[in-house]
Amino acid sequence: PNAGGHGDLDAIIIGAGIAGMYQLYRLRELGLRVRVYEAGTDVGGTWYWNRYPGARFDSESWSYGYSFSKELLQEWEWPEHFSAQPDTLRYLNYVADKFDLRRDMRFGHRVTAAHFDTATSRWTITLDNGEQDSAHLLVTALGPLSAYTLPNIPGRDSFQGTACHTARWPREGLDLKGKRVGIIGTGATAIQTIQTIAKEVGHLTVFQRTPNWAAPLHNRKITEEEQKAIKASYDEIFERCRQTSTCFIHNTDPRKALEVSAEEREEFWEKLYAEPGFGIWVGNFQDVLVDPEANALASEFMAKKIRQRVRDPKVAEKLIPRNHGFGTRRLPLESGYFEVYNQDNVRLVDILETPIERITPEGIRTSAEDFAFDVLIYATGFDGVTGPYDRIDIRGPGGRRLKDDWTGTPRTFLGMLAEGFPNMLMVLGPHTARGNIPRNIEEIVDWLTGLIRHMRDHGLTRVEARPEAVEDWGRHVEKAASGLLFSQVNSWQTGVNRNVEGRDVLRILGYYGGAVQYRRKAGAVAAQGYREFLFG
Ligand code: NA7
């Protein structure tokens, strides 16, 4: 059976998040026949699924929205400097309405398989209801953080209360008022959840395996004057994002922490700590994420802040990371997170000290005691970057399985094409620059659109990266990651998720040469006529 029934498609896009929505817009401009398949019941991707209390940007709202339409930029008003999930979802719905995107979207369909047919150079996808559809091009806009993972703790299904992963928070919300709540995890998601629900719940128990460094977000409402100023300066804002290696407005400080005096260092860090956003992470001294000595000093500064903010010194020490330095994992931003542990109704349980033995019908049993809960929240994260690909049975020519190819480190060209998988174009696959995600997305989508335009103009129906180009890119990706403290630490960014079999080994899943260099490299490939590709 054919799901669409509208004749030959040029392209199928999987995912109606920020990436899929924009790719559809661009391919329509080329006059292509496109269909988008989305598992959710509406647009929004990450912002559709992650409805947990306190979900919001850590990027400045006005640097995060789409930049492609000046009209849209002038029409839309972000209420806060760091937008909350409901407003972000409202924004994405506004975009979908404005550009009439839903017309080519099929919702409530999870793509379970995608197979390439060599004879016709077409991809056939299969949906969870068994229906199929096919097109020449397959664009995977799956999101790097869409495959959520539950903790692999014995007895997980025996819990009698309400259990919920943060990425599957119910639309209608969960009533936590006065309830006994347990939460597993202390990543960026958990931190936002914990600081938001702590005041409302009866009692909150936080099960922490690895503490994380976190810095203040300093969110506030956007005033009317600010709104005007923002609208008048979008060109400069996006130009600034283009000049930084992470596409945030914050740029690395050219100084080294070890070159300046202790007073100067302290003063700079105090200033960054008092400023909104990721400045303290990606606008820090240039050696902080590279040089272990500089990193240790920055970590000490952050530890001091935790000790100042948490009343009980024993709890404060537990909240200070010991096994990874400041900024070597994605830095969560917080609003009163550490002070939560000064509340009488909140308790921190260090599960390295007293490991969780099992989930029981009543709650959680650690090696030391039994806990009873009404609600159990899993803020246990995602099988990052490759997880969403692993969940789809993707097969190239000769039945070659992407999942097998990607058991180790993926082999890609520019992170946009996987070696051996013709006509499959990835938006934010492994080995692309990642930072302020919509900025990365727009650049990749524009680049892919250029490639597709080239194929259309030359009557080409098959594209694949040359093996030597893949080889070169792989070496470059590896070189860019070497020496970074970041790439030596377990996290979703390095592809480690101990809840997923086989995913306990560090991999390089990003391009760490920075967005500027990434853009230059990708730009040169296009400018020189796509010589790194084999076309058919
Ligand atoms: P993260 O950052 O991967 O955090 C997941 C958390 O859950 C982390 O603290 C984990 O501890 C913990 N976890 C996972 N599995 C278990 C088990 N089995 N037992 C105990 N604790 C566990 O995901 P987030 O959703 O917070 O953030 C993802 C991204 O979303 C973030 O980077 C932003 O870009 C937005 P661990 O550290 O593995 O010891």
Task: Compute, in angstroms, the gap from residue 238 CA to the centroid of ligand 1.
Answer: 31
Question: For tokens 């059976």, what's the residue?
Answer: 1
- Tell me what pLDDT residue 487 has: 87
What is the tens place of the pLDDT at every residue in 257-272?
999 999 999 999 999 9
Task: Compute, in angstroms, the gap from residue 379 CA to the centroid of ligand 1.
Answer: 6
Which phi and psi (to 5°) does residue 136 adopt? -65, -45
The tens place of each residue's pLDDT in the chain, 536 residues long, gives 344 444 689 999 999 999 999 999 999 999 999 999 999 999 999 999 999 999 999 999 999 999 999 999 999 999 999 999 999 999 999 999 999 999 999 999 999 999 999 999 999 999 999 999 999 999 999 999 999 999 999 999 999 999 999 999 999 999 999 999 999 999 999 999 999 999 999 999 999 999 999 999 999 999 999 999 999 999 999 999 999 999 999 999 999 999 999 999 999 999 999 999 999 999 999 999 999 999 999 999 999 999 999 999 999 999 999 999 999 999 999 999 999 999 999 999 999 999 999 999 999 999 999 999 999 999 999 999 999 999 999 999 999 999 999 999 899 999 999 999 999 999 999 999 999 999 999 999 999 999 999 999 999 999 999 999 999 999 999 999 998 998 889 999 999 999 999 999 999 999 999 999 999 999 999 999 999 999 99
Give the type of residue at 315: V
ipTM > 0.85?
A: yes
Pairing status of strand 412-413 against strand 417-418: antiparallel
Question: By C-alpha distance, which of 452, 471, 470, 447 is closest to 462?
Answer: 452
What is the tens place of the pLDDT at every residue in 461-482?
999 999 999 999 999 999 999 9
Which phi and psi (to 5°) does residue 254 adopt? -70, -15
Please identify, by atom number, the ligand 1 atom nearest to the C-alpha of residue 491: 3
Please identify, by atom number, the ligand 1 atom nearest to the C-alpha of residue 166: 25
How far is CA 425 from its chain centroid?
Answer: 18
Task: Compute, in angstroms, the gap from residue 360 CA to the centroid of ligand 1.
Answer: 21
Distance from C-alpha of 13 to C-alpha of 143, rounded to nearest angstrom? 12
Q: For the range 73-81, what are the long-range contacts, defined as Cβ-Cβ under 8 Å and sequence gap of 24 or more?
A: 73/231, 73/234, 74/231, 77/222, 77/227, 78/222, 78/230, 79/221, 79/222, 80/56, 80/219, 80/220, 80/221, 80/222, 81/219, 81/220, 81/221, 81/222, 81/276
Distance from C-alpha of 257 to C-alpha of 297, rounded to nearest angstrom? 8
Distance from C-alpha of 388 to C-alpha of 55, rounded to nearest angstrom? 21
Q: Which residues line ligand 1 (CB under 6 A)?
A: 145, 151-153, 184-190, 209-210, 330, 379-382, 492, 499
What is the tens place of the pLDDT at every residue in 49-97?
999 999 999 999 999 999 999 999 999 999 999 999 999 999 999 999 9
- pTM for this entry: 0.97
- Tell me what pLDDT residue 4 has: 47
Best mutation site among 380, 383, 437, 509 for ligand 1 pocket (most ligand atoms within 8 Å of CB): 380
Question: For tokens 């609003």, what's the residue?
Answer: 335
